[in-house]
Structure 1
Amino acid sequence: MVATVVPVTVESTTIVKPTHGAISYATSTETKFEQESFHITNKIAAGTNVGDNVEEGPALFRPYTVRSLTLANRIIVAPMCMYSSKDGFMNDFHLAHLGSFAIGGAGLVIAEATAVEPRGRISPADTGIWSDDHIPAIKRVVDLVHAQGSKMGIQLGHAGRKASTKAPYNAESFPASEYWPDDVVGPTAGLRWDDRHEIPRELLVDEIPEVVKAFAEGAIRANKAGMDTFLSPVTNKRTDHYGGSLENRARLLLEVVKAVRANFPAEKPVFLRLSASDCVEHLDIPSWTIDQTVEVSKWARDAGVDVVHISSAGNTADQKVAYSPGYQVHFAERVKKEVAGLGVITVGSITNGKQSDEIVAKGQADLIAAARSWLKNPAFALEAARELGVKPKYASQYFAAQYV
């Protein structure tokens, strides 16, 4: 049992007009008191198979180890942008949101895309990790997740040409002054995502080391906050040594990987999220393909990546994605079969335990990531266990749920 004292500031407030996706307050008086943050530590992680059939039972509920990190099961929470921060800080929403998945049995909870630079946010409501000031708020969430026995990672990200936009659910709350339209950067000048996005300027060659440094510093802060791993997510018509050939187009990605690997503890794994295809096969244009993904995955492995998280699309508004159950599994399977010594995560329309277990059992992927399924049911892993006949460990405070 762990109890820590955390100073909490309580203010007499008046709610004012919402800004950048979060409620803001006008302060009138301030009274300070100390509140106890109380965690019952689960020595056995919620979602662990505590039955007699661990080795012979469903593959989905067998532990997974990479470097010094061992997950209780193969079900993870994919990073999901929530657009609920102010100035990059995680808050009570993130504590409840991410903590619920750990209580619900996730082997690994990955926090949303967290900007390594202020200009790298999708919107002003994104979480951030560009300052040491962000560490305590992140650690507060990590501590709750760890108390359930789950592991936690964070997606370090940079929105590039998708930056400086409005949060999708509360667009009217964004004053123009919150944006940074003149500092939206991309691989190529003028190639914006669509007509609703800002026109980016080209990221200058002498600015690239600063971006690499920002990712490295983000990795250092993630470790200080107690993260067990982190996930790092790079349209490119450049003619310098960051454009043209596949090697050149992968250069920035690999520079980031090497920098963060050098600044993250050797015993902790680095995950990399890659889009396997631009999904523009209907257009007669050069595009990113699974063949290139396989090749870059090999380079990433050699640069220090332990696990790749394979998704698709997201690089052009002209994409056409053929959505169906598990529609991205075949991409993950290609990487799994062709890149030795690299763990693989699949994601996309994975909605139940049987489907998830079959993917792992067939060797198509090592880990299953889900997003909407967790939003629909924060106990997704526990329900998957029941579906598969597994006896899962419940969080101590939720033990009565196993009898329902």
Structure 2
Amino acid sequence: MAPKVTPAPNVPFFTPAQSTPAGTALESNPPTLFSPLKIRDVTFQNRIWVAPMCTYSADNGHLTDFHLVHLSAFAYRGASLTIIEATSVLPNGRISPQDSGLWQDSQIAPLRRVADFLHSQNQKLGIQLAHAGRKASTCAPWLGERGKATTATEDVGGWPDDVMGASAIRWGEGYPKPREMSPQDIQDVVNGFRDSARRSVEAGVDVIEIHGAHGYLISSFLSPISNQRTDKYGGSFENRIRILVEIIKAIRGVVPSTMPLLVRVSATEWMEKQAAESWDVESTIRLAKLLPSLGVDLLDVSSGGNNEAQIIAMHNDCQVSFAGRIRSALFEAGIKDLLIGAVGMITEAEAAKAIVENGQPGKKDDTVQIEDEQGSTAKADIVLVARQFLREPEWVLRVAYRLGVEVQWPLQYGRGQFLEGSRI
């Protein structure tokens, strides 16, 4: 009898089963970058994730065929987790009128379509739940001057009179003036995150990330510059992180205990030289130490975005170095159950490899920090990559080739594998 193509199970269409996910190392002792990592009950075949990237292409919050094609291109080429762009938990939490949303049940079905396809390829899907806060109701970036925001007015689907933030402080030029959130507004946001998390589970998402970075709502609460409240959500460190803590608890209360939960933060808002007090790396370390007991599994370390006066000392590994500082501080405090993700200008194979590698050949347990003779330690457990995937959707496969690691390719693409001596 001739061999038969095995169909992928549990999906409403035919596609060949990828019994070994693309991006899986086919050798016994790969570098850490291509070794598997299990978080709760979810196993990732490598340490390369696709970071959330806004595309301003949703239809009243609903994902479309664009998102199916866009996200799938990275996933079936070997990324072990592909995270959907910032997805608003309330209508007024979108950055633009074309942002992804999950505030109503009709938005579940198009999300499930993406999840079904990724699962048919034996890959994992994440979603970043968000509220834009005072950076909401702006136009898609290509509609205005590069680097400057343009308020989306009501005639183009915006809501400039319903923008809210921790305090009534405008982010900067081109942004609407927000109102200070009432206690009911805060409760609505917490409930929105909870309900969107429930819908994510119903849609088949594998991982949830809370967006607490880049000056959006949660980020604006964390900073004493943008949060000048005098109630229980402002003032002290404990008060400023309160909304994030409440959101984490609300989400953990409705998602399975087996589901990984991530939090993205700006490690610093880059205002140390401009303000007597700001959100900085030490603040992030203080927050990070609290997260494992709340049920958070990984801290995704980014930076900036909360103040137009920020002065960024940008270099290729600035954000990666923050991740390393935070990870080291956690280990020094004996906290080994919060994983760290590094993001930002990760474009080269060797750099990605070095970020997650401890420097000891054969050492695979990154929950224990081990130093080599030069004191080299992993800066993170995961690398999250965004723009490089826009340039090279097959980046995982290229990285493997450049590092000399044999990995599984999608079955249908096997004839395109890089051969010895081929140019890429």
TM-score (norm 1): 0.88
In structure 2, the CA distance between the partners of 1:5 and 1:67, relative to structure 1 (3 Å rule), is closer
* Partner residue, 2:260: 269
Work out whether residues 4 and 38 of structure 1, in 8 Å CA contact, stay in contact via their aligned partners in 2: no
* Partner residue, 1:33: none
Could you tell me how far apart the structure 2 residues matched to 1:155 and 1:227 are? Answer: 11
Could you tell me how far apart the structure 2 residues matched to 1:325 and 1:399 are? Answer: 34
Work out whether residues 122 and 164 of structure 1, in 8 Å CA contact, stay in contact via their aligned partners in 2: yes
Q: Does residue 1:218 correspond to 2:196, yes or no?
A: yes
Shift, 1:169, TM fit: 1.5
Could you tell me how far apart the structure 1 residues matched to 2:69 and 2:398 are? Answer: 20
Work out whether residues 138 and 152 of structure 2, in 8 Å CA contact, stay in contact via their aligned partners in 1: no
Deviates more, 1:230-239 or 1:154-163: 230-239
Work out whether residues 43 and 149 of structure 1, in 8 Å CA contact, stay in contact via their aligned partners in 2: yes
1:25-40 equivalences under 5 Å are 37-40=13-16
Q: More strand per residue: 1 or 2? A: 1
* Partner residue, 1:375: 390
Q: Does residue 1:44 correspond to 2:59, yes or no?
A: no
* Partner residue, 1:93: 66
Shift, 1:174, TM fit: 6.3
In structure 2, the CA distance between the partners of 1:337 and 1:174, relative to structure 1 (3 Å rule), is closer
Could you tell me how far apart the structure 2 residues matched to 1:398 and 1:288 are? Answer: 46
Shift, 1:266, TM fit: 0.4
* Partner residue, 2:158: 179
* Partner residue, 2:283: 292
Equivalent residue letter for 1:374:
F
In structure 2, the CA distance between the partners of 1:399 and 1:288, relative to structure 1 (3 Å rule), is same
Could you tell me how far apart the structure 2 residues matched to 1:300 and 1:156 are? Answer: 17
Could you tell me how far apart the structure 2 residues matched to 1:327 and 1:45 are? Answer: 32
* Partner residue, 2:175: 197
1:5-404 equivalences under 5 Å are 37-51=13-27, 53-54=28-29, 57-170=30-143, 176-177=154-155, 178-189=157-168, 191-233=169-211, 234=218, 235-339=226-330, 340=335, 341-361=337-357, 362-404=377-419
Work out whether residues 327 and 349 of structure 1, in 8 Å CA contact, stay in contact via their aligned partners in 2: no
Shift, 1:285, TM fit: 3.5
Q: How many residue pairs align between the two structures?
A: 370
Can you list the C-alpha shifts for 1:233-282, whole angstroms capped at 9, x where unaligned?
11211111100000000000000000001111101110010110011233
Equivalent residue letter for 2:24:
T
Shift, 1:403, TM fit: 4.5
Equivalent residue letter for 1:351:
T
Could you tell me how far apart the structure 2 residues matched to 1:2 and 1:342 are? Answer: 34
Shift, 1:331, TM fit: 1.1
Which runs of structure 1 show a deviation greater than 4 angstroms over 4 or more consecutive aligned residues? Answer: 3-6, 171-175
Could you tell me how far apart the structure 1 residues matched to 2:264 and 2:152 are? Answer: 29
Shift, 1:301, TM fit: 1.8
Equivalent residue letter for 1:186:
G
CA RMSD of aligned residues (A): 1.7
Could you tell me how far apart the structure 1 residues matched to 2:281 and 2:31 are? Answer: 29
Can you list the C-alpha shifts for 1:210-246, whole angstroms capped at 9, x where unaligned?
1101100111011111111110011211111100000
Shift, 1:173, TM fit: 12
Shift, 1:297, TM fit: 1.2
Equivalent residue letter for 1:250:
I
Shift, 1:109, TM fit: 0.4
Shift, 1:38, TM fit: 3.2
- Matched residue of 2:142: which SS? coil
Structure 1 alignment gaps of length 5 or more: 7-36
Can you list the C-alpha shifts for 1:286-334, whole angstroms capped at 9, x where unaligned?
2101111011112222111011101000111111222222220111112
Structure 2 alignment gaps of length 5 or more: 1-6, 145-149, 212-217, 219-225, 358-376, 420-424
Could you tell me how far apart the structure 1 residues matched to 2:283 and 2:128 are? Answer: 22
* Partner residue, 2:374: none
Work out whether residues 272 and 280 of structure 2, in 8 Å CA contact, stay in contact via their aligned partners in 1: no
TM-score (norm 2): 0.84
Could you tell me how far apart the structure 2 residues matched to 1:216 and 1:5 are? Answer: 27
Equivalent residue letter for 1:166:
C
